[in-house]
Structure formats: C-alpha cells, structure tokens
C-alpha cells in the first residue's frame, strides 16, 4: 500500500529549462508535505515544504504546488542547473496523529544536462 | 554547526549476528527518527522518539528490532539475529518539534 507515489523514476532536462517533479498521495490525513534531495552516499537534504493550508510555497528557484482535491503535489525548479542532478523524494506527514513520521515516495532521479 | 552523525558508516555482518547502529542528533533536537532505505526505494519509517521515549514504533518490522535513547540525545538501533533481508541503509534524522527533519549520512548494513 504505497501512500505516496512518484510515478516517474527519472527525468532529464536541459540546463536553464524548467524541471517538474510530480508526486501523488492517497491519505487525506496528510497535512504537511516536503521535498528532499539526495546525492549518492549522503542522507536526504531538506529542500522545501508546504502545509496543507497553502497551495504554493516558493524559495528561490524552487516552488512547490499542492492540489489537495487531486491529492497531487509538484516541485518546479527554474532554471535547472547541473548541480541539481540528484534523486528527489516527496514525503508526507500527518501531524494530527502526533507523530511527524514521514512517508516517502520512491524517488525521481533528475539529470540536468549542461 | 554539526549535523546528524551516524556510526559506523558501513557494517558487514554474518547472518544470525547482533548489530548496533548509533545516531548522534543535532544538539537541541528533541525528536529523533530512524528510517530504513532499500535499493531503489524511498526511506521507510521505523521508529520515532520524543525525548527519551519511543512515541511511535509502528514501523519496526518485528521484535528483532529495538531502539533506545536513554538520555534523550544519542540513539542506538539494535538488530538481533540479523537476516539477509535486513541489508539496507539505515538513516537517522532529528528535528525540533514540528520542524523539518535533518538526516544523517546513514549506515550501510550488509548481512552475508
């Protein structure tokens, strides 16, 4: 039972263009969503988050959009840079359950070509 | 400042042996989490500590897995009678209550 799904295992974009990574979830109790970036042999690094009371959050080149009715979120990276090449994980939590444990998707490998 | 540290970085053990994995969280972080990541998958939740107590251990796969955090800082994940299926990267994360989680580099466990 995969509660958080990233259906695209990989994505390749040209430097300077937009990267769009997608994530779907099934549990309507999720109220906080995060994106993490992971390089090989390192732990995941927090990138950006969004609360369920918002539909957009922006931080520099990174914007996360949340569509609660569709149970879908996306991460936009503009402009994409070669250093953005990594595995990106979408994660969700339900703080109403007083735990904060994260449920992760399977990850999407982004390659940004120079 | 120092991030989350985990030791050892790599551990190879024989099937049936006992292992301990250690996590040093960021100073002042009251919440500590353990996750397990298998190849090609996202991290999978194991256990969550708030202070010294395990607030949520619903992710521990069976009673061979146990974790402690006796003084509310360092945590140890203990695996008894290891099996080949336990091979994975074990990740530790810490956070302030309600804040984003910061992950350590992980311990790669290989059970032969």
**DSSP string covering A33-101:** EEEEEE-TTS--EEEEEEETT-SEEEETTEEEEEETTTTEEEEEESS--GGG-EEEEEEEE-GGGT---
For residue B4, the chain A residues in CB contact (below 8 A) are 43
Q: Are strands B75-79 and B65-68 parallel, antiparallel or unpaired?
A: antiparallel
In this complex, is the C-beta atom of B100 within 8 Å of any C-beta atom belonging to chain A?
yes
B88 part of contact set with chain A, CB < 8 Å: no
pLDDT tens digits, residue range B69-104? Answer: 999 999 999 999 999 999 999 999 999 876 789 999
Q: Do β-strands A56-59 and A62-67 pair in parallel, antiparallel, or remain unpaired? A: antiparallel
The answer for A10, left when phi > 0, alpha when psi is -120 to 50, beta otherwise, is beta
Q: Check if A105 contacts B (Cβ < 8 Å).
A: yes
A111 in contact with chain B, both atoms CB, cutoff 8 A: no
User: How far is the C-alpha of A83 from the C-alpha of A19, rounded, in Å?
Assistant: 13
Structure tokens at B10: 């790599």
Q: Answer for the pair A7, A70: CB distance below 8 angstroms, yes or no.
A: no
Cα–Cα nearest to B55, from B24, B33, B78, B73: B33
In this structure, the number of other CB atoms found within 10 A of the CB of residue A16 comes to 11
SS3 call for B85: helix
> Considering Cα of B57, then A100, then B37, then A70, what sign does the dihedral take?
positive
Coil/strand/helix, residue B84? helix
Nearest chain A alpha carbon to B5: A43
Chain B environment of A91 (Cβ under 8 Å): 42
- The shortest CB-CB distance from B105 to any of A42, A89, A98 is to A42
DSSP A111: E
One digit per residue, the tens of pLDDT, for chain A of length 114 reads 789 999 999 999 999 999 999 999 999 999 999 999 999 989 999 999 999 999 999 999 999 999 999 999 999 999 999 999 999 999 999 875 556 789 999 999 999 999
Assigned token pair, B2? 């120092």
Q: Are strands A62-67 and A32-38 parallel, antiparallel or unpaired?
A: unpaired
Quick: pLDDT tens for B21-63. Answer: 999 999 999 999 999 999 989 999 999 999 999 989 999 999 9
Rounded to a whole number of angstroms, the distance from the CA of B104 to the nearest CA of chain A is 5
Chain B contacts of A92, Cβ < 8 Å?
Answer: none
- d(CA A29, nearest CA chain B) in Å: 16
- Looking at residue B93, what is its pLDDT? 96
């Amino acid at each position: 039972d995969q509660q958080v799904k990233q259906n695209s295992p990989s994505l390749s974009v040209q430097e300077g263009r937009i990267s769009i990574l997608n994530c779907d979830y099934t549990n309507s109790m999720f109220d906080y969503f995060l994106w993490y970036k992971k390089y090989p042999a390192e732990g995941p690094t927090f990138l950006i988050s969004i609360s369920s009371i918002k539909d957009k959050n922006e931080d520099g080149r990174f914007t996360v959009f949340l569509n609660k009715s569709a149970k879908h979120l996306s991460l936009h990276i503009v402009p994409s840079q070669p250093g953005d090449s990594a595995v990106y994980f979408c994660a969700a939590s339900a703080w109403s359950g007083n735990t904060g444990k994260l449920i992760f998707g399977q990850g999407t490998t982004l390659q940004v070509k120079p | 400042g120092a991030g989350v540290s985990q030791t050892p970085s790599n551990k190879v053990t024989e099937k049936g042996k006992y292992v301990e994995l250690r996590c040093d969280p960021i100073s002042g972080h009251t919440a500590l989490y353990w996750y397990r990541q298998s190849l090609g998958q996202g991290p999978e939740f194991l256990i969550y500590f708030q202070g010294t107590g395990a607030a949520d251990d619903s992710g521990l796969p069976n009673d061979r897995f146990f974790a402690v955090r006796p003084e509310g800082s360092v945590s140890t994940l203990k695996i008894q009678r290891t099996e080949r299926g336990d091979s994975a990267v074990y990740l530790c994360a810490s956070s302030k209550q309600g804040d984003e989680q910061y992950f350590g580099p992980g311990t790669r466990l290989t059970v032969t």
